[in-house]
Structure 1
Amino acid sequence: MRTMRLVTAGVVVILLAGLFVLAMNPVWRDDARLQAFYERVVAYPLPPNTRDIFPMDRDVVFGKNLVGGGGSYCDYRVRLTLQTALTPQEIRRHYDHAAIAGAEAKAEISLYFREQDPAGGRRVILEAYDSHDWDWDWRCY
């Protein structure tokens, strides 16, 4: 009788572990995609006279429909805050041709500019974004 209970408990534990792995596999896959996307964005060369002013405070986000809208999409966003001596046109020109691979397609780049500060510099927020249809990650459903 005791052996039967141990076997039953073992089967239950194995089934639960299998369900856990099945549910978490898409999560682990998308977390790895986000990490790789982040590394590609950070590795892309900055424009001349530009630096990443908050490398310890970069914004890296994964979630459902980060830019709004309906549907089940998995979105990836990396945000960097830069300080530059260049004009907005020069920064745009640098990133217009950026070939940063996203999680599934080419990343979309958005730039947001602050007014020039008294020292002649300007802060720029760079957002790299990518998205794909839901692929079993429960965080995007």
Structure 2
Amino acid sequence: MVALLPVIGLFLLFKVPMWVNDAKLDALIDRFESYPRPPRTYGTEGGAEGSIALRDNGNHCDYRVRLTLSTELSVGELTDYSDRADIAGVEGGRPSFTVRPRPPSKHVAYSSRTMIVELDDSTGAGLDLRCH
């Protein structure tokens, strides 16, 4: 048993920062999903999806939350709505938003526009291996 203590310690050294960042991501998803939907928006395709990774280069954690909406609004109108949204980032501050049309699917007919709204934020990497 004593021989396992260093292995357990090393495991926890790297897993605890990942669990902490996962909790931050879950809280960000909750804030994003609970924010009121834009007008003339009829629903979502499932809930928001989140991820943590190192995007681009550097030594930081990038958090991304993606939500697919059915709406009558244009990209510009959704962007304006998102820019006014009062959603706190991972560690306070203000996350950035990206809005784009969802690529059309040949298997599903949509009666309204389907848009993807992404919220992006970043923190220091710490010991989270996903961010190095």
Q: How many percent of aligned residue pairs carry the same amino acid?
A: 36
- Bigger relative contact order, structure 1 or 2, given CA contacts below 8 A and separation 6+? 2
Whole-Å separation in 2 of the counterparts to 1:87 and 1:19: 50
Which of 101, 108, 119 pairs up with 2:88?
101
Q: TM-score, normalised by structure 1?
A: 0.78
Q: TM-score, normalised by structure 2?
A: 0.83
Worse-superposed segment, 84-93 or 47-56: 84-93
Which of 49, 53, 71 pairs up with 1:63?
53
Which of 73, 94, 99 pairs up with 1:111?
99
Which of 106, 126, 131 pairs up with 1:135?
126
Larger radius of gyration: 1
Whole-Å separation in 2 of the counterparts to 1:123 and 1:23: 39
- Secondary structure, aligned partner of 2:86: coil
Which of 48, 53, 59 pairs up with 1:72?
59
Give the 5 Å matches for 1:45-56: 45-56=36-47
Residue 84 of structure 1: aligned partner: 71
Which of 24, 40, 47 pairs up with 2:31?
40
Give ranges in structure 1 of 5+ residues lacking alignment. Answer: 1-9
Cα-Cα RMSD: 2.2
Whole-Å separation in 2 of the counterparts to 1:88 and 1:40: 22
**Matched residue pairs, number?**
126
